[in-house]
Amino acid sequence: MDDLYVTRETLIGEVVNEYPEAIDVLFSIGMHCLGCPASQMESLEEACAVHGFDPSAVVKEINKKIAEARA
């Protein structure tokens, strides 16, 4: 996959607003607080740390989902 839409530093709010197709990935791993005001200013890496996920794996899955949706 060559397309990198989001990184570990991308804010959850940006992901939700710019790439709604990625919401399914976040919900599937248990991140259900996407509308929470705090999550809007939290990076993917920070959210993964709070929830105990590998940020690299989450970023990879999100970018894959976005690429598939845009293909």
Task: Write down the pLDDT at residue 1.
Answer: 46
> Which residues, 6 or more positions from 69, have their beta carbon under 8 angstroms from its beta carbon?
21
**pLDDT higher for 13 or 37?**
13
**pLDDT higher for 38 or 27?**
27
Does position 53 have pLDDT exceeding 90, yes or no? yes
> Which residues, 6 or more positions from 1, have their beta carbon under 8 angstroms from its beta carbon?
60, 63, 64, 67
> Selecting from 1.10.3910, 3.30.310, 1.20.120, 1.10.3470, what CATH number does the domain 12-70 have?
1.10.3910
Sign (positive or negative) of CA dihedral 42, 17, 56, 54: positive
Does position 69 have pLDDT exceeding 70, yes or no? yes
Q: What is the pTM of this model?
A: 0.88
Burial class (CB within 10 angstroms; exposed 0-12, middle 13-18, buried 19+) of 51: middle
Does position 2 have pLDDT exceeding 70, yes or no? no
